[in-house]
Amino acid sequence: MAAPQTLWVGLALLGVLGGLRTRARAHVSLQPNFQQDKFLGRWFTAGLASNSNWFREKKDALSTCSSVVAPREGGGLNLTSTFLRKDHCETRTLLLLPAGPPGCYSYTSPHWGGTQNVSVVGTDYVEYALLYTEGTKGHGQDFRMATLYSRTQTPRAEVKEKFANFTKAQGFTEDTIVFLPKTDKCLEEHK
């Protein structure tokens, strides 16, 4: 079984960002006319919601991480995230492959195996992005996560409210939603 910090890496990297099932596509829409080139650049993971038991147990110990979304030669995106783990900074990169219409990506989870699908469900490109991830982990357990990306560590109250409303519409409850505290650690690598 993966260490809790290793699982956080997977969650944080998602956060920015597995297959979306047909039932999920029925109630999670994509950003209309998604423009990948505008989505590129530095983001902070400012909010998370998940149905994972591990997440519920560890959410109070999590803090903001920094991620850079960059195009990958040959297609897809590299999502490179830097976060605090055991008092030192760690960087991980995920390869997000196009998986359907623009704004849909998939990746293979290095910790859980299987494919996770990520959808950009809303963004204004300059301030925030809302992402929804779904797939399986471990022994076929359903996994769902919503992520709030912000171009700054302190998103406006209206953006946080938009994220809270989105997560509740996806069936997440208050105890499964967290706005991550701002930190000065491990954020310099992606300036």
**pLDDT tens sequence across 24-73:** 333 588 999 999 999 999 999 999 998 877 777 777 777 788 999 999 98
pTM assigned to the model: 0.81
At 14, the pLDDT band (50, 70, 90 cuts) reads very low
- Rounded Cα distance between 85 and 8, Å, is 9
pLDDT at 89: 86
**Of all residues in the chain, what percent carry a pLDDT higher than 70?**
78
Using DSSP, how many helices (H) and how many strands (E) does the chain show?
A: 5, 9
Tell whether the model's pLDDT for residue 122 goes beyond 90. yes
Candidates 2.40.128.20, 2.60.200.30, 3.40.50.720, 3.40.50.1220; CATH matching 4-19+26-190: 2.40.128.20
- For residue 104, give the nearest of 10, 18, 11 by alpha carbon: 18
Active centre residues (catalytic): 65
Q: What is the pLDDT of residue 18?
A: 34
Q: Which of 135, 136, 132, 126 is nearest to 145 (CA)?
A: 132
Stated as kind and residue range, the H or E segment containing 91 is strand 88-98
Res. 17: pLDDT tops 50: no
Best mean pLDDT range from 105-119, 149-163, 175-189: 149-163
So what's the pLDDT on residue 20? 32
Structural domain spans, the chain? 4-19+26-190
Per-residue DSSP letter, 117: E
Give CA separation, 84 vs 55, 74, 93, 98, 184, in Å.
Answer: 16, 31, 15, 29, 10
